[in-house]
Amino acid sequence: MIGRSLQVLVGFLLVAAITRAAKMDHLQILDSLLKDDYDRRATPTNHLNNATTVYCELYIRSFGSISPVTMDYEVDLYLRQKWQDERLKHAEITEALDLNDPNLVKAIWKPEVYFPNAKHAEFQYVTVPNVLVRINPDGEILYMLRLKLSFSCMMDLSKFPLDSQVCTMEVASFSKTIEELSLEWKTNNPVIMGKGLRMPQFEIVKIAASDCQESFQIGNYSCLVAEFHLSRSVGFHLVQSYLPTILIVVISWVSFWMDVDSVPGRTTLGVTTLLAVSSQSSGIQSGLPQVSYVKAIDVWMGTCTAFVFCALLEFTFVNYMWRKTPDSRAKVPEAANGKTLPQTSSVQDTAAALSVSKCCTDSTEAVAEVRCPSGPTLAANKFRARRIDELSRFCFPATFAVFNVFYWSYYLS
């Protein structure tokens, strides 16, 4: 038993020694390659007077924090670059050399690329510098970095929150012109999203990778751009913005079923709903930038505020009609019993006048002043006030429904 354990231990030490020796051989070969007339300032194809082609690939680990206020978004990604460097061929060893030593990484030529539309960038150092250089035996080099970046994304919020946005991510050469360095996307799937990647407010519809060219007075530079087509998820705004305002507007219509002379109740309801929709609108606008054009949410909140305000105006007009008294200077005809009747303009008003005359005839003078102060004109005004309330019960919901049809069909098209 002890002999077998010694054999296992000796075998393990032998494998470790061979592995260490192989690594030393790898480092020695790399040192010899870098010492033999290797100039890290020159491009791999500088001696051929051709542009070095670098193939780029993006692997997105996280995509989020899309802010309409600051017009930017944050990503955590791996930038992978591949190119051919004949100077680093090592036919003596058939396996690739993986390097993560920053000093060795600095000793080889690398493409000097940057992100033109990046507002902020951080290189990841936890727990070690997140950089990898893999040198294949045929001289193909894979250079991979992990970065955390914040990109600008100029959004058009005219249809917010029913909008779709296109955010871009640009990769360009910083110091090498197109005569020295040519950037190209990887042939298959140049931009890969991490498995299970989800965003709270947006859905990625598609990703389009294309070429671009940065032109300056000092020269033209190769450039790549990835376009992320995003569609905003409306579920959050339905729950937080649209449904509460719809309920507030509907509650304001309750006053149409209340008595006309219920002044405290109808006034309180109208003012409360108006303040509620105004507070809702202010809360929504606080999270949006101050743009010069009208947004879809502005149209919605403005219309809802107008409906609540019109409901309050309707009560004001109805209450005025209810309390309106006839002109005491108007000429009135005489009744058969010597009493005077207010002048009427229709059969209905005449009937109301006779009713009031009978009321005043059957009562004492003191009681008549209380029971019949305004005659048939006041009765007609009260009838019109109730009629306006009855029409409002139908007109307000119907008009709001028509507005919803036009609003949703226009902004969702």
Q: Residues 211, 296: one domain?
A: no
- Calculate mean pLDDT across residues 297-308: 96
Q: Residues 60, 109: one domain?
A: yes
Q: Residues 77, 112: one domain?
A: yes
For the entire predicted model, the pTM comes to: 0.75
**pLDDT number for residue 368:** 38
- Residue 344's alpha-carbon distances to 360, 382, 407, in angstroms, are 17, 15, 47
Q: Which band of pLDDT confidence, cut at 50, 70 and 90, is reported for residue 237?
A: very high
**pLDDT number for residue 201:** 87
End-of-domain residue from the set 212, 233, 254 = 233
Q: Residues 216, 296: one domain?
A: no
- Calculate mean pLDDT across residues 137-149: 92
Q: Residues 177, 90: one domain?
A: yes
Higher pLDDT: 332 or 226? It is 226
Q: Residues 183, 321: one domain?
A: no
In a domain, 276, yes or no: yes
Structure confidence by residue, pLDDT tens digits, 169-225: 999 998 889 999 999 999 999 999 988 888 888 999 999 999 987 777 777 899 999
Who's near 152: CB < 8 A, 6+ residues apart? Answer: 71, 72, 117, 118, 119
Phi and psi at residue 99, in whole multiples of 5°? -120, 135
The domain in which residue 143 lies consists of 33-233
Phi and psi at residue 40, in whole multiples of 5°? -70, -10
Above 50 in pLDDT, residue 32? yes
Residue among 372, 291, 384 at smallest CA distance from 339:
372
Q: Which band of pLDDT confidence, cut at 50, 70 and 90, is reported for residue 294?
A: very high
Higher pLDDT: 40 or 313? It is 313
CATH number at residue 388: 1.20.58.390
Q: Residues 248, 207: one domain?
A: no
Who's near 341: CB < 8 A, 6+ residues apart? Answer: 332, 333, 334, 335, 353, 354, 356, 357, 375
Above 90 in pLDDT, residue 77? yes
**pLDDT number for residue 180:** 92
CATH number at residue 106: 2.70.170.10
Residue among 121, 223, 110, 212 at smallest CA distance from 173:
223
End-of-domain residue from the set 184, 199, 233 = 233
In a domain, 228, yes or no: yes
In a domain, 23, yes or no: no
Q: Residues 191, 271: one domain?
A: no
Structure confidence by residue, pLDDT tens digits, 340-357: 444 444 444 444 444 444
